[in-house]
Amino acid sequence: MSETILVVNAGSSSIKFQLFAIRKGSDLERSLKGQIEGIGTHPYLIAKNPKGEVVIDETWPAPEVDDVPAALDKVIDFLRSHVGKLPIGIGHRVVHGGPRFSEPVIVSAAVVDQLLEYVPLAPLHQPNNLRPIRVVLERQPHLMQVACFDTAFHRGHPEVADRYALPEAYYAAGIRRYGFHGLSYEYISGRLREQAPELAKGRVIVAHLGSGASMCALVNGKSVESTMGFTALDGLPMGTRPGQLDAGIVLYLLGEKKVSAKEVEHLFYHDCGLKGLSGLSNDVRDLLASPDPRAKLALDYFAYRIALFTGQLAAAMEGLDAFVFTAGIGENAPAIRAAVASKLNWLGFKLSSKANEKSDLVISRKRSRVVGLVIPTDEELMIARHTLGALHEHAAAA
């Protein structure tokens, strides 16, 4: 039985997890993928092996799994019985590494304290991400844990890309353009190096289009600009978030409309974006299938904004060599890719409809100046790699 790495992505009412076996030469092979959801309401654990076969499918009464520690216990119990032994390390997705963390870090109580400082920067995600880390630290202090950040990949941005035009004190207080989805972009950057090494050295836009969506400008594989900023609300419209907004709208809602800050937060995170514009659904599949003109408006807006931000990111790189689509929508919705590509025709992106329909690796025509690609992302594998790397470094330093 080989050693394993567990990858954990914890939300408010769910914990997603994946188990990777460590093969010869530090290769990682996914052996399980699962999640426990409905924590506190109708707890439900399901996990599948790589063949897609269900290996556990269990529910409990709500009081038995009413918080994250109890849910984590169920996951650990399952791993113990199914795999036989605990992983040698746990890699956690943590949304915010603040200004301090530009790479993954082995977690100690001191690191947790530092990460708790960033809770105000990501109030909806950071506490949930940290919860299982703290539970394991208390209960199994010898189990190595590694925090992997969605912000870290963007920490090398030039200063002009890191700032808002606010007085210095605000920058010092952490109001910066962090950028998110960094684990996805880092994975794509690596895949591009393997699959198209010449392009990887150039100027590439990656569009991570999932229920959260952003775009990243890569020069020679490094992030130089992102459409997301201080929080994951900025940039592209998303399933339920509006993307870029005039800050005056917030002042108007708070001052004139007397909407509370909590209500504005709820509006911006849950009721805007594709859902708000269409009044129908946050899911692109529903909108593509709908004859309702509001569904069309929402999708048109999405493609329009992707094209607008392409101009911005291309300007940051002073050119564009390749455009990569990834994540749920980017990987699976040829119609959205076609809508974006048609708006980027002027930039030299010439789509091959046939390759696009098949979601081939290369979806542009041979003579297209900008090469269009579809590359599936794998944030969990990225976290597992980081975790194994951090454990190796730790062992070498000991």
- Closest by CA to 373, choosing from 228, 201, 192, 187, is 192
Dihedral over alpha carbons 111, 113, 118, 123 (to 10 degrees): 120
The position carrying tokens 């992102």 is 226
Considering only 91, 97, 328, 372, the residue that binds ligand ADP (CB under 6 A) is 328
Restricted to residues 103-132, the positions that interact with ligand ADP (CB under 6 A) are none
Tell the smallest beta-carbon distance from residue 281 to ligand ADP (Å): 8
CB of 357 to ligand ADP, least distance (A): 13
Stretch that binds ligand ADP, among 19-27, 291-299, 314-322, 326-334 (CB under 6 A): 326-334
- Residue 357 — φ and ψ, nearest 5°? -60, -35
**Contact letters (x/-) for ligand ADP, 237-266, by CB under 6 A?**
--x---------------------------
Interaction of residue 284 with ligand ADP, rule CB under 6 A: yes
What would the two tokens of residue 275 be? 């859902």
Choose between 132 and 212: whose C-beta lies nearer to ligand ADP. Answer: 212
Is-catalytic flag, 286?
no
283 sits near ligand ADP (criterion: CB under 6 A): yes
H or E element that contains 176 = none
Helix (H, G, I), strand (E, B) or coil at 104: coil
- The response to whether 19 counts as a known ligand-binding position is no
Smallest gap from residue 285 Cβ to ligand ADP (A): 5
Q: State how far the Cα of 193 lies from the Cα of 198, in Å rounded to an integer.
A: 8
**Which position has the token pair 């969506």?**
213
- Cα 134 to Cα 115: distance, rounded to the nearest angstrom: 11
Torsions phi, psi for 391 (to 5 deg): -65, -40
Residue 105 or residue 228: which is nearer to ligand ADP going by CB? 228
Binding segment for ligand ADP among 72-80, 89-97, 197-205, 280-288 (CB under 6 A)?
A: 280-288
Nearer to ligand ADP, 285 or 392 (CB): 285
The span from the CA of 386 to the CA of 173, in Å, is 29
Q: Is 182 marked as binding a ligand?
A: no
Longest pairwise C-alpha distance within the chain: 64
185-224: contacts with ligand ADP (CB under 6 A):
210-212
332 binds ligand ADP (CB under 6 A): yes
Compare residues 229 and 239 and give the one whose CB is closer to ligand ADP: 239
Query: Residue 329 annotated as binding?
Result: yes
Residue number of the CB closest to ligand ADP reads 328
Residue 285 or 358 with smaller CB distance to ligand ADP: 285
Binding-site size for ligand ADP (CB under 6 A) equals 12
Using rule CB under 6 A, residue 340 touches ligand ADP: no
Out of 329, 351, 373, 383, the residue judged to bind ligand ADP by CB under 6 A: 329
- Give the nearer residue to ligand ADP in terms of CB position, either 202 or 239: 239
Least distance in Å: CB of 309 to ligand ADP? Answer: 18
- Active-site annotation holder among 113, 150, 300, 378: 150
Candidates 85, 139, 285, 369; binder of ligand ADP (CB under 6 A) is 285
Here the contacts of 358-365 (C-beta below 8 Å, separation 24 or greater) are 359/331, 359/332, 359/334, 361/195, 363/325, 363/337
- By CB under 6 A, tell whether 333 contacts ligand ADP: yes
Q: Which residues are annotated as a binding site for Mg(2+)?
A: 9, 379
Q: Which residues are annotated as a binding site?
A: 9, 16, 93, 208-212, 283-285, 328-332, 379
Q: Give the residue numbers annotated as catalytic, written as ranges.
A: 150
Q: Which residues are annotated as a binding site for ATP?
A: 16, 208-212, 283-285, 328-332
Interacting residues with ligand ADP (CB under 6 A): 210-212, 239, 283-285, 327-329, 332-333
